[in-house]
Amino acid sequence: ELPVHQRGDAVSSIVYEANARVRDPVYGCVGAISSLQQQIDALQTQLALTQAEVVHLRVRQTASFPHGFCPTSPTNSGSPTFKLMGSQTMPIFDLDMVVDQASLGEPMWSF
Protein backbone atom coordinates (compact mmCIF):
# COMPACT_ATOMS: atom_id res chain seq x y z
CA GLU A 1 0.00 0.00 0.00
CA LEU A 2 3.03 2.30 -0.04
CA PRO A 3 3.63 4.65 -2.95
CA VAL A 4 6.25 3.35 -5.36
CA HIS A 5 8.82 6.05 -4.43
CA GLN A 6 8.75 4.96 -0.72
CA ARG A 7 9.02 1.19 -1.23
CA GLY A 8 12.83 1.15 -1.48
CA ASP A 9 13.13 2.96 1.85
CA ALA A 10 10.63 0.55 3.45
CA VAL A 11 12.61 -2.48 2.25
CA SER A 12 15.86 -0.94 3.53
CA SER A 13 14.26 -0.33 6.93
CA ILE A 14 12.99 -3.90 7.17
CA VAL A 15 16.42 -5.30 6.22
CA TYR A 16 18.14 -3.00 8.74
CA GLU A 17 15.77 -4.11 11.51
CA ALA A 18 16.25 -7.79 10.57
CA ASN A 19 20.04 -7.42 10.75
CA ALA A 20 19.75 -5.57 14.07
CA ARG A 21 17.56 -8.39 15.45
CA VAL A 22 20.25 -10.90 14.47
CA ARG A 23 22.82 -8.91 16.47
CA ASP A 24 20.44 -8.14 19.37
CA PRO A 25 17.37 -10.40 19.43
CA VAL A 26 15.70 -8.54 22.30
CA TYR A 27 16.05 -4.88 21.35
CA GLY A 28 16.97 -4.91 17.65
CA CYS A 29 17.55 -1.45 16.21
CA VAL A 30 15.93 0.16 19.27
CA GLY A 31 18.98 -0.90 21.28
CA ALA A 32 21.32 0.72 18.76
CA ILE A 33 19.23 3.89 18.67
CA SER A 34 19.13 4.04 22.47
CA SER A 35 22.90 3.60 22.68
CA LEU A 36 23.47 6.36 20.14
CA GLN A 37 21.05 8.67 21.97
CA GLN A 38 22.94 8.10 25.23
CA GLN A 39 26.19 8.98 23.47
CA ILE A 40 24.61 12.15 22.06
CA ASP A 41 23.32 13.12 25.51
CA ALA A 42 26.75 12.55 27.09
CA LEU A 43 28.49 14.56 24.37
CA GLN A 44 25.97 17.41 24.64
CA THR A 45 26.53 17.52 28.40
CA GLN A 46 30.29 17.54 27.89
CA LEU A 47 29.95 20.32 25.29
CA ALA A 48 27.76 22.40 27.62
CA LEU A 49 30.23 21.98 30.47
CA THR A 50 33.12 22.96 28.21
CA GLN A 51 31.26 26.03 26.91
CA ALA A 52 30.44 27.06 30.48
CA GLU A 53 34.09 26.62 31.45
CA VAL A 54 35.17 28.83 28.54
CA VAL A 55 32.73 31.53 29.66
CA HIS A 56 33.93 31.19 33.24
CA LEU A 57 37.57 31.54 32.18
CA ARG A 58 36.78 34.58 30.03
CA VAL A 59 34.94 36.22 32.92
CA ARG A 60 37.87 35.53 35.25
CA GLN A 61 40.32 36.88 32.67
CA THR A 62 38.22 40.02 32.19
CA ALA A 63 37.90 40.51 35.95
CA SER A 64 41.63 39.94 36.51
CA PHE A 65 42.82 42.19 33.68
CA PRO A 66 40.58 45.28 33.45
CA HIS A 67 40.87 48.04 30.84
CA GLY A 68 42.30 45.85 28.09
CA PHE A 69 45.36 44.81 30.11
CA CYS A 70 46.44 41.48 28.70
CA PRO A 71 49.10 39.19 30.20
CA THR A 72 50.21 38.02 26.75
CA SER A 73 50.89 41.57 25.57
CA PRO A 74 54.58 42.01 24.59
CA THR A 75 54.86 45.14 26.73
CA ASN A 76 53.56 43.46 29.89
CA SER A 77 54.75 39.86 29.68
CA GLY A 78 58.23 40.43 31.12
CA SER A 79 57.23 42.94 33.78
CA PRO A 80 58.12 41.91 37.35
CA THR A 81 55.08 43.85 38.53
CA PHE A 82 52.86 41.80 36.24
CA LYS A 83 54.40 38.55 37.49
CA LEU A 84 53.75 39.58 41.08
CA MET A 85 50.19 40.68 40.31
CA GLY A 86 49.49 37.52 38.30
CA SER A 87 50.41 35.27 41.18
CA GLN A 88 48.29 37.26 43.65
CA THR A 89 45.12 37.86 41.65
CA MET A 90 41.94 36.46 43.11
CA PRO A 91 38.66 36.14 41.25
CA ILE A 92 36.18 38.86 42.10
CA PHE A 93 33.39 36.30 42.10
CA ASP A 94 33.02 32.59 41.50
CA LEU A 95 30.44 30.99 39.22
CA ASP A 96 28.50 27.92 40.14
CA MET A 97 27.43 25.95 37.09
CA VAL A 98 24.05 24.33 36.62
CA VAL A 99 23.39 22.29 33.49
CA ASP A 100 19.84 22.49 32.16
CA GLN A 101 19.31 19.05 30.61
CA ALA A 102 16.22 20.19 28.68
CA SER A 103 18.14 22.78 26.66
CA LEU A 104 21.36 20.90 25.96
CA GLY A 105 20.46 20.45 22.30
CA GLU A 106 20.31 24.21 21.79
CA PRO A 107 23.44 26.36 21.52
CA MET A 108 24.19 28.61 24.47
CA TRP A 109 24.75 31.54 22.11
CA SER A 110 24.88 32.24 18.41
CA PHE A 111 27.44 34.04 16.30
Among 6-15, 60-69, 101-110, top mean pLDDT goes to 6-15
Contact (CB, 8 A) for 28 and 21: yes
Average pLDDT over residues 51-56: 95
- Res. 78: pLDDT tops 70: no
Model pTM score: 0.48
Return d(Cα 14, Cα 16) in angstroms, integer.
5
